[in-house]
Structure 1
Amino acid sequence: MRLPLHYTGVDLNPAMVELATSRGVPDVSLLPVTETPAGRHDYVFLSGVFQFADPDDPLYYLSMLERAYDISGRAVAANFLSANRPAAARAPDELYADPSVLMRFAAALTDRWRIDHAYHPQGADFTIALLH
């Protein structure tokens, strides 16, 4: 038995929203990034969302991650560029998150979390999962 699936996507790039809509995938809704998905969602994935640094709010990603956790029913997963990335492989405008900051944040939010910092060569990226 196949259960129905509903997917809600949010993207910063209007061209990506148009492309996804044009593919005609059934039961897909795409919202501009200015809108928060209504309701509760089983899983929230944040991929490529935290690429750029904000000099005015260096920890902006923590409030966004907390909001994602609040609207999720089962788990949130987000990926980050790592502060452990070699200096030669960094760009000046990108966000390089410190895994230890996210570990403290995760532990304050839930006792069920995990960080995977092993899948990318030289520890250049990592993913955090926050479970309910």
Structure 2
Amino acid sequence: MGQDDLERECEATPEHEAFKGRFRPKLTTDDCLTPPEVHAAVLAWAAREYGFDPSDAVRPFWPGGDFEGFDYPEGCVVVDNPPFSILARIVRFYLGRAIPFLLYAPHLTALGTRQAAVGPRARALPGDGVRRRDGMVPIDS
């Protein structure tokens, strides 16, 4: 048995696959992406409500992405669903750089940013009338 045969045999075992799986990136609830039709509806509403061109909107959040290293074009506005585990850090980052943003998150999660976003530019909007696809209505509605 040659070296190549031995490597193929080892790679075929469930134990070896389990071992390799320990090194794959793990997905968390922070890695859940907003369905495109939901984002399109939020973006259209935000552009009408706040008077910006939807083509100026950027989405810097994706699994494994780096929002701090993202290239924010001049005049852009962030409209996205950020990772909730670092929401306060994200808000501080945008406020500190005067980057306009609308981040959508569950109401109770957004309330956790209050200390990071003190001032007239920051608001948490409750989910009035929001109904999820599964028919559940958020308790703060």
Pairwise same-fold verdict (TM > 0.5)? no
Scaled by the length of structure 2, the TM-score of the pair is 0.40
Scaled by the length of structure 1, the TM-score of the pair is 0.42
Larger Rg: 2
Please identify which structure carries the higher strand content: 1
Higher RCO structure, 1 or 2 (CA under 8 Å, sep 6+): 1
